[in-house]
Structure 1
């Protein structure tokens, strides 16, 4: 049995992500990781660049009265984190998805998968 027997592209309804195989275990992880990193980079996120793929939402200096720029930064972070989580989550088998907590950031999910399968 070769590696291609384990690689099954996800449904074609995913458009530009249908070339990424579903993560089902450690034997698939290197291929999955490489493909998802490219997809994340194509969306402007780099899971290895802490300044771009931070795991902590920015906060306001004065939480009760955030400045306009701070609010924009927080909203942008939430949007980017949700997009990254959507890319990562679409490429996981249901069993692997259940291993990740819903409250984890995209970076925390990436790290958890790396620890488990890497």
Structure 2
């Protein structure tokens, strides 16, 4: 998990936006963002929403359809696990423990609870941005 050590644990609305950005990039890198995305532009394959395949004949799916459904379910569980790994315990308790809830539904549930876009959140973000500073001021000339 070393390459994702930089992703913060989601603990509250205070760090939701940083968490959201880091998790999104990580899911894209793992080719799992399609399980979260709702985009419908097929010319953008990294952002194109993936929906669970449905067999043409529900009573007797073909081997290829069964394989496609299985792959989709496994990838969706991977996306859910990835999201779950970076949630604090109280936030994990918001998520129902059932197989029916997809990664997209979990993402939307978390966004509904923590992704507030009201005026007070803008002030919180402004305060966080104002508090940012360079790690080592002695070599600031390298960054200017």
TM-score between the two structures when normalised by the length of structure 1: 0.79
Instruction: Report the Cα distance in structure 1 between the residues aligned to 2:104 and 2:37, rounded to whole angstroms.
Output: 9
Q: Which has the larger radius of gyration?
A: 2
- Highest relative contact order (Cα 8 Å, sep 6+), 1 or 2? 1
Flag structure 1 segments of 5+ consecutive residues without an equivalent: 1-13
Taking a change above 3 Å as real, the CA distance of residues 91 and 38 of structure 1, as seen in their structure-2 partners, is: same
Which secondary structure does the structure 2 equivalent of 1:100 belong to? coil
Task: Name the CA shift for 1:102/1:50 in 2 (closer, same or farther; >3 Å).
Answer: farther
Task: Quote the RMSD (CA, aligned, Å).
Answer: 1.6
Give the whole-Å Cα distance in 1 for the aligned partners of 2:5 and 2:92: 18
Alignment of 1:1-118 (within 5 A): 14-46=1-33, 47-50=36-39, 52-54=48-50, 57-103=52-98, 104-118=101-115
Q: TM-score, normalised by structure 2?
A: 0.66
Cα drift, residue 50 of structure 1: 4.5
Whether the 8 Å contact between 2:76 and 2:102 is mirrored in structure 1 is yes
Please report how far the alpha carbon of residue 61 of structure 1 lies from its aligned counterpart in structure 2 after TM superposition. Answer: 1.9
Contact 1:53 1:107 in 2 (8 A): no
User: What displacement does 1:17 show?
Assistant: 2.0
Distance 1:57-1:110 versus aligned 2 partners, 3 A rule? same
The number of residue pairs the alignment matches comes to: 104
